[in-house]
Amino acid sequence: MQTLDLSDPQTRLIVLTGAGTSAESGIPTYRAMNGLWRTHSIQEVATAYGFLNDPALGWRFYSERRVDALAASPNAGHVALADIEERLGDRFLLVTQNIDGLHQRAGSRRVIELHGNLLHSRCTVCDRPPFADDRLYQELPLPLCEVCTDRAAPGMIRPAVVWFGEAIQGADMARVEKFMESAPRGHLVFLAAGTSGVVTPASAFVEDAKRLAAATWLVNLEPPENVGYFQNVLLGASGAIFPALFGVTPG
């Protein structure tokens, strides 16, 4: 098994994870043959319009996702990433498309959640910051925002996730860009795992990394659409590959 040499104190490692890394913990993916998009319409449960049109359906769907996330445990891949972060410190950044919070539960702290967090909620109307919330809203009445109670029409509480048609936080994108560009040329390693390579803007990160002369690595069960951008491709589960790749001894 190949290993990543991260011993040079100038080398920085940025890791992008997708749904495949959580599938190993039993979290259903959206795009697989039996994934969630096979049984639910994107327009119904993954757009702001769909939620406002039928918030009861939306909350039933996301309450079920919360049940899945809370029942899951971090796998060996999550743990290996937390271990390498401990070793590298500020030379490490984890960017995830996942919303289940498993990286943090494994011990990762330098995490950017591009698509939000399933176990947080926010208001549909006011600028109240997202707040931790793992409650299950499967029965009527649906929750209203306590901060909006003085409004004629208080806002509804919704999952603090990024739906189709919604923008990723500009501050998150800026943080990714700053991290990659701060590495001395030739001292950046970009590693993607468990991602389809089709969801923007994350799918473009490897292109940015190559522009910065980064070493590019991919760990995936099968080659994604953008596999040609990667110099090193390891096919398999991240939980099986990461410990050896990082030189981590499984606990």
Active site residue 40: no
Please report, as a single letter, which amino acid is at residue 216: T
Complete DSSP assignment for 140-205: SSPPB-GGGTTSSSPPBEEEEE--TTPPPPHHHHHHHHHHHHHSPTT-EEEEEES--S-STTGGGH
- List, in sequence order, every residue forming a beta bridge with 217; answer none if it has no partner: 191, 232
Q: Catalytic: which of 78, 103, 115, 120? A: 115
HSE of 39, CA atoms in CB hemisphere, 13 A: 10
Cβ neighbors of 131 (< 8 A, separation 6 or more) are 120, 121, 122, 160
Cβ pair 55, 142 in contact under 8 A: yes
Catalytic residues: 115
